[in-house]
Amino acid sequence: MARTTTISLQDVTDRARHGGKAAALAALIRHGLPAPDGLVLPADLTDAQVAAAIDDVLTWAASTNTVHGLVARSSAPAEDGAKASFAGLYASRFAPARSDALLNAVRDVRAAATAPAIRAYAALRNITTPPGIAVLIQRTIRPYASGVLAAEIDHGIIRRWTLEAVHGLAIPVVSGTQRGERHHSDSETPSPAAQSEIILPGTPTELHQPPGEWIILPGIDNRPGQRAKIRTSGAGLLHLYPPDTDRHRPVLTAALRDQLVETAAIVAAVLQHTSIDIEWAVTPDGAIHILQARPLTSPIPEQPTLTHSAGTVWTGLPAAPGRGTGPAHRLAAGASPAIGPAPDQAVILSDNLGADALDALLHNPAGIAATRGGPLSHAAIVAREIGVPCATALPDDLLTIPAGTPITVDGIAGTAEIAAPRDKSPRQQKLRVAGAAVITRPLSKDASCDGRVGTLLLHLPGDRLTRTLEETTTAPIGVLQPSEQPDLSPLPPGYREHHLPGIGRIAWPAQEVAIPRRLVVLHGDEPIFERRIAPFDPAINT
Amino acid sequence: MEPVWNGMLTCDYERTRPHATPFEWDLYTRSLIRWPLVLMNDPEPYGRLRRAGIVDIPEPVHHALTGRWHAHLRNPDYVADLITRTAVDRQAVALALDACDTADQDNDLPGLTAALAEATTAFLRVNATHIVNWLLPEDRWEQLLADLLGSRDSALTCLSALQLPTELGHILATATAEADILARRAPAAARREAWTTAALVAAAGNDHALIEVRALAMVLGWAADSEERRKELRERLLATARAWCEATSTDPHRITTKDLLGEDRHGPHHDNQPSGRY
Residue B18 at interface with chain A, using a CB cutoff of 8 Å:
yes
Residue B208 at interface with chain A, using a CB cutoff of 8 Å:
no
Question: Considering only CB atoms, which chain B residues are within 8 Å of A528?
Answer: 154, 194-195, 198
Supply the range of the domain harboring residue A284.
141-305
Residue A492 at interface with chain B, using a CB cutoff of 8 Å:
no
Nearest to A344 by CA among A367, A362, A324, A365: A365
Which residue type sits at A431? L
Residue A265 at interface with chain B, using a CB cutoff of 8 Å:
no
Note which residues in 54-113 of chain B have CB less than 8 A from chain A: 54, 56
* Residues A93 and A197 occupy one common structural domain: no
The whole-angstrom separation of Cα A110 and Cα A133 is 6
Structure confidence at residue B63 (pLDDT): 97
Minimal Cα distance from A442: which residue of B? B193
The whole-angstrom separation of Cα A191 and Cα B51 is 39
Question: Considering only CB atoms, which chain B residues are within 8 Å of A362?
Answer: 175, 184
Structure confidence at residue B174 (pLDDT): 65
Please report the ipTM that was assigned to this predicted complex.
0.85
* Residue A132 and residue A114 in contact, taking contact as beta carbons nearer than 8 Å: no
CB within 8 A of A401, min separation 6: which ones? Answer: A307, A308, A328, A349, A407, A418
> Which letter, b or e, does each residue of A239-264 get, where b requires 16 or more Cβ atoms within 10 Å of its Cβ?
bbbbbeebeeeebbeeebbeebbebb
Q: Cα separations (Å) of A485 from A50, A465, A488, B225?
A: 71, 14, 8, 32
Structure confidence at residue B270 (pLDDT): 46
* Residues A46 and A193 occupy one common structural domain: no
Whether A430 is in a domain gets the answer no
Best probe of the B interface among A385, A439, A456, A531, by most B CBs < 10 A, is A385
* Residues A320 and A411 occupy one common structural domain: yes
End-to-end CA distance of chain A: 91
Question: Considering only CB atoms, which chain B residues are within 8 Å of A233?
Answer: 5
Residue A34 at interface with chain B, using a CB cutoff of 8 Å:
no
* Residue A423 and residue A325 in contact, taking contact as beta carbons nearer than 8 Å: yes
* Residues A155 and A300 occupy one common structural domain: yes
* Residues A178 and A301 occupy one common structural domain: yes
* Residues A204 and A176 occupy one common structural domain: yes
Element housing B237 (H / E): helix B207-247
Concatenated DSSP letters of A316-366: -EEEE-SEEEEEEEE--TT-SS---PPPTTPEEEESS--GGGHHHHTS--S
Taking the CA of residue A167 and the nearest CA in chain B, the distance in Å comes to 19
Minimal Cα distance from B180: which residue of A? A362
* Residues A217 and A267 occupy one common structural domain: yes
Question: For residue A228, which phi and psi values (nearest 5 degrees)?
Answer: -135, 145
Q: What are the residue ranges spanned by the domains of chain B?
A: 8-266
Contacts 24+ apart (CB under 8 A), B145-152: B145/B199, B145/B202, B145/B213, B148/B199, B148/B202, B148/B203, B148/B209, B148/B213, B149/A529, B149/B198, B149/B199, B149/B202, B150/B202
Taking the CA of residue A373 and the nearest CA in chain B, the distance in Å comes to 9
The whole-angstrom separation of Cα B163 and Cα A504 is 27
Structure confidence at residue A513 (pLDDT): 73
- Out of B161, B165, B201, the one facing A482 most closely (by C-beta) is B201
Contact flag A210-B200 (C-beta cutoff 8 Å):
no
Contact flag B200-A503 (C-beta cutoff 8 Å):
no
The whole-angstrom separation of Cα A512 and Cα A451 is 16
CA angle at A319 for the pair A521 and A405, rounded to the nearest 5°: 115
Tens-digit pLDDT profile for residues B45-84: 999 999 999 999 999 999 999 999 999 999 999 999 999 9
Best probe of the A interface among B28, B160, B178, by most A CBs < 10 A, is B160
Residue B135 at interface with chain A, using a CB cutoff of 8 Å:
no
Question: Considering only CB atoms, which chain B residues are within 8 Å of A501?
Answer: 205
Note which residues in 413-432 of chain A have CB less than 8 A from chain B: 413, 426
CB within 8 A of B8, min separation 6: which ones? Answer: A210, B56, B57, B58, B59
Question: Considering only CB atoms, which chain A residues are within 8 Å of B188?
Answer: 384-387
> Which letter, b or e, does each residue of A317-332 get, where b requires 16 or more Cβ atoms within 10 Å of its Cβ?
bbbbbbbbbbbbbbbe
* Residue A399 and residue A248 in contact, taking contact as beta carbons nearer than 8 Å: no
* Residue B216 and residue B73 in contact, taking contact as beta carbons nearer than 8 Å: yes
Which DSSP category does A490 fall into? S
Concatenated DSSP letters of B202-214: HHTT-HHHHHHHH
* Residues A68 and A163 occupy one common structural domain: no
Note which residues in 376-395 of chain A have CB less than 8 A from chain B: 376, 378, 380-382, 384-387
Tens-digit pLDDT profile for residues A33-75: 999 999 999 999 999 999 999 998 999 998 888 889 999 998 8
Q: Which residues pair with A315 in a beta bridge?
A: A415
Q: Cα separations (Å) of B169 from A369, A382, B128, B172?
A: 19, 7, 19, 6
- Out of B54, B171, B195, the one facing A382 most closely (by C-beta) is B171
On the question of pLDDT at B273 being above 90, the answer is no
Whether A427 is in a domain gets the answer no
Taking the CA of residue A207 and the nearest CA in chain B, the distance in Å comes to 11
Contact flag B227-A381 (C-beta cutoff 8 Å):
yes
- Out of B10, B54, B188, the one facing A386 most closely (by C-beta) is B188
Burial level of B79, CB count in 10 A (0-12/13-18/19+)?
buried
Burial level of A468, CB count in 10 A (0-12/13-18/19+)?
exposed
The whole-angstrom separation of Cα A403 and Cα A390 is 18
Nearest to B142 by CA among B163, B164, B157, B130: B157
The domain boundary residue, chosen from A115, A140, A165: A140
Parallel, antiparallel or unpaired: strands A495-500 and A406-410: unpaired
Whether A389 is in a domain gets the answer yes
* Residue A250 and residue A266 in contact, taking contact as beta carbons nearer than 8 Å: no
Q: Which residues pair with A509 in a beta bridge?
A: A495
The number of residues in chain A equals: 542
* Residues A192 and A247 occupy one common structural domain: yes
Structure confidence at residue B117 (pLDDT): 96
Structural domain count of chain A:
4
Residue A486 at interface with chain B, using a CB cutoff of 8 Å:
no
Span B263-272, average pLDDT? 48
CA torsion angle B255 B257 B262 B267 (round to 10): -130
> Looking at residue A83, which CATH number applies to its domain?
3.30.1490.20
Coil, strand or helix at B5:
strand
* Residue A322 and residue A387 in contact, taking contact as beta carbons nearer than 8 Å: yes
Parallel, antiparallel or unpaired: strands A406-410 and A323-330: antiparallel
Contact flag A483-B204 (C-beta cutoff 8 Å):
yes
Structure confidence at residue B197 (pLDDT): 96
Structure confidence at residue A3 (pLDDT): 45
* Residues A321 and A393 occupy one common structural domain: yes
* Residue B24 and residue B17 in contact, taking contact as beta carbons nearer than 8 Å: yes
Residue B134 at interface with chain A, using a CB cutoff of 8 Å:
yes
> Which letter, b or e, does each residue of A15-28 get, where b requires 16 or more Cβ atoms within 10 Å of its Cβ?
bebbbbbbbbbbbb
Question: Considering only CB atoms, which chain B residues are within 8 Å of A530?
Answer: none
Contact flag A480-B170 (C-beta cutoff 8 Å):
no
Question: Considering only CB atoms, which chain A residues are within 8 Å of B197?
Answer: 439-441, 458, 521
> Looking at residue A247, which CATH number applies to its domain?
3.30.470.20
- Out of A231, A382, A522, the one facing B194 most closely (by C-beta) is A522
- Out of B15, B170, B203, the one facing A241 most closely (by C-beta) is B15
Question: For residue A463, which phi and psi values (nearest 5 degrees)?
Answer: -80, 160
H, E, C per residue of A364-421: CCCEEEECCCCCCCHHHHHHHHHCCCEEECCCHHHHHCCCCCEEEEECCCCEEEECCC
Q: What share of chain A is helix, strand, coil (3-state, %, to 5)?
A: 20, 30, 50
CA angle at B133 for the pair B132 and B138, rounded to the nearest 5°: 75
- Out of B18, B54, B204, the one facing A503 most closely (by C-beta) is B204
Contact flag A387-B54 (C-beta cutoff 8 Å):
no
* Residues A301 and A322 occupy one common structural domain: no
Structure confidence at residue B266 (pLDDT): 46
On the question of pLDDT at B179 being above 70, the answer is no
Structure confidence at residue A172 (pLDDT): 85
Contact flag A212-B207 (C-beta cutoff 8 Å):
no
The whole-angstrom separation of Cα A499 and Cα A395 is 52
Coil, strand or helix at A189:
strand
The whole-angstrom separation of Cα B7 and Cα B58 is 6
The segments of chain A whose pLDDT lies below 50 read: 1-3, 305-306, 333-339, 422-427, 539-540, 542
The whole-angstrom separation of Cα A376 and Cα A353 is 12
Coil, strand or helix at A271:
helix
Residue A241 at interface with chain B, using a CB cutoff of 8 Å:
yes
Structure confidence at residue A117 (pLDDT): 67
The domain boundary residue, chosen from A80, A105, A140: A140
* Residues A191 and A217 occupy one common structural domain: yes
Best probe of the A interface among B131, B164, B195, B197, by most A CBs < 10 A, is B197
Question: Considering only CB atoms, which chain B residues are within 8 Å of A241?
Answer: 15
Residue A362 at interface with chain B, using a CB cutoff of 8 Å:
yes
